[in-house]
Amino acid sequence: MTNENPLPGAGESAPQRSGKDWAFLIGKRVLFLLGPIALGALMPLFFWFVFLPAQGALVSPEFLVFAGLMIAYMVPPFGKETIIPAALIGGPAVVGLVSSIISIPTGTALGGYPLWTVVAGIVILDFLVALFITLNFDLLLKIPLIGGWFRWIMRSADKVLRKKPWIENLSSAGLLIFMYIPLQGSGAMTTSIIARILNYRPLQAIGLVTFGSIL
């Protein structure tokens, strides 16, 4: 008696994807890759309007210094505990120096950057980093130079997990605390990678990083 629904043999190939399947997968990949980049391009545009340049100037000294602070935030070991005081206290002096060098008058930042602008910039950056990494984690590992760099970060993240087992033991709360408290090696990038190592879904990882950044 023959089996009416035989299982595929060991030598049989897996079902082939249709053209629609491939179109969907490619479109999804393009959206995941270019979407965060497009959103990231809107960030400097937004803050350009926040720190409007003087008439006839392309950018304001406030914008240039603010952009420098945001770039510094992405470079270890800087973090919120460094960048926020620097913007509120040291920002005006740096703006004045930049203004004198490029001969463009300064604006509102002479009294210090408004706290909301610094916090907004940090939260937006953390969100974009988490969005890009979690949605493209598998692809980033396959890119020659970037993949090697990410594997190095993964090894660092693994060391963090071994040194701080409470992160995994406390589950989502552990990741949130790790993102919130300024610890050595913490931040949106490491937290996103740890979340992926622990098999968190992308939306969960993005939410934890963003919420921890807001706190």
Flag whether 99 is in a domain: yes
Count CA atoms within 13 Å of residue 16 on its CB side. Answer: 2
Q: What is the pTM of this model?
A: 0.74
Question: Across the chain, where does the E strand assignment appear?
Answer: none
What is the predicted pLDDT for the residue at 110?
46
| Closest alpha carbon to 214 in 119, 149, 137 | 119
What is the predicted pLDDT for the residue at 42?
93
Flag whether 1 is in a domain: no
What is the predicted pLDDT for the residue at 183?
57
Q: How far is CA 66 from CA 93, 142, 207, in A?
A: 12, 33, 25
Flag whether 2 is in a domain: no
What is the predicted pLDDT for the residue at 11?
52
* Residues spanned by the domain of 174: 31-214
Flag whether 19 is in a domain: no
Q: How does DSSP classify residue 1?
A: -
Flag whether 89 is in a domain: yes
Mean pLDDT, each 10-residue run in order, the chain (215 residues):
50 65 81 89 92 82 82 72 71 54 49 79 91 88 81 78 74 74 68 83 88 83
Query: Is there a contact between 91 and 113 (Cβ–Cβ < 8 Å)?
Result: yes
What is the predicted pLDDT for the residue at 47?
92
Flag whether 11 is in a domain: no
Number of independent structural domains in the chain: 1
What is the predicted pLDDT for the residue at 107?
52
Dist. CA 194–CA 145, nearest whole Å: 20
Kindly tell me the sign of the dihedral angle through the C-alpha atoms of 49, 80, 74, 174: negative
